[in-house]
């Protein structure tokens, strides 16, 4: 469901890019918007606090390993 006031758009991606985004999912029903928002959040954090960004990436890796152990990173 789309939050009130938010609009949806369509973007074109290469299949390779889609495959790479799929590998970043924390769960199989996670949206591409969620993945892109997470990436952008980490990139913004990297500008101001690289150590915290690294910690966040490590947390995501641990969560992915616990939730989806069969997925290769």
Higher-confidence residue: 12 or 60?
12
pLDDT tens profile 28-71: 899 999 999 999 999 999 999 999 999 999 998 888 888 766 54
pLDDT at 5 exceeding the cut of 90:
no
Name which of 32, 8, 9 is nearest 21 in CA terms.
32
Is the Cβ–Cβ distance between 24 and 65 less than 8 Å?
A: no
Task: Categorize the per-residue pLDDT at 6 as very low, low, confident or very high, splitting at 50, 70 and 90.
Answer: confident
For 47-65, give the secondary structure using H, E and C: HHCHHHHHHHHHHHHHHHH
């Amino acid at each position: 469901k789309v939050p009130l006031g938010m609009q949806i758009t369509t973007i074109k991606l290469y299949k390779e890019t889609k495959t790479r985004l799929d590998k970043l999912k924390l769960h199989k029903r996670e949206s591409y918007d969620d993945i892109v928002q997470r990436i952008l959040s980490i990139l913004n954090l990297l500008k101001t606090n690289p150590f915290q960004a690294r910690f966040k990436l490590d947390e995501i890796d641990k969560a992915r390993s616990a939730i989806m152990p069969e997925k290769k990173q």
